[in-house]
Amino acid sequence: MTDLNQTDLQTLVTGNKRAWDSFVAAAAPLINAVVRRTMSSSRLGEDDVMDAAQDVFVRLCAGDFRLLKTYDPARAGLSTWLAVVARSAAVDHLRRRRQATEPLDDVPEAALGVEDKHVEKLQIPQGLLTERQTLILKCLYDEERDVAEVAVLLKIDAQTVRSTHHKALLRLRAHFGDEPP
Nearer to other proteins, 107 or 153 (CB): 153
**In the complex, what is the shortest distance from the CB of residue 134 to other proteins, in angstroms, rounded to a whole number?**
5
- Compute the least distance from the CB of residue 45 to other proteins, in Å: 13
Write out the residues near other proteins by the rule CB under 8 A: 15, 17, 20-21, 24-25, 28-34, 37-38, 50, 53-54, 57-58, 61, 64, 70-72, 75-77, 79-81, 83-85, 87-88, 91, 121-126, 129-132, 134-135, 137-139, 141-143, 145, 149-150, 152-155, 169, 172-173, 176, 180-181
Q: Is the C-alpha dihedral spanning 72, 73, 77, 78 positive or negative?
A: positive
CB burial string 132-158: b at 16+ within 10 A, e below: ebeebbebbeeeeeebeebbeeeeeee
**Greatest CA separation for the chain:** 66
Contact 56, 84 (CB under 8 A): no
CB of 130 to other proteins, least distance (A): 7
User: Which CB atom, from 43 or from 130, has the smaller least distance to other proteins?
Assistant: 130
Closer residue to other proteins (CB): 9 or 30: 30
CA distances from 32 to 40, 47, 61, 92 (A): 12, 12, 17, 16
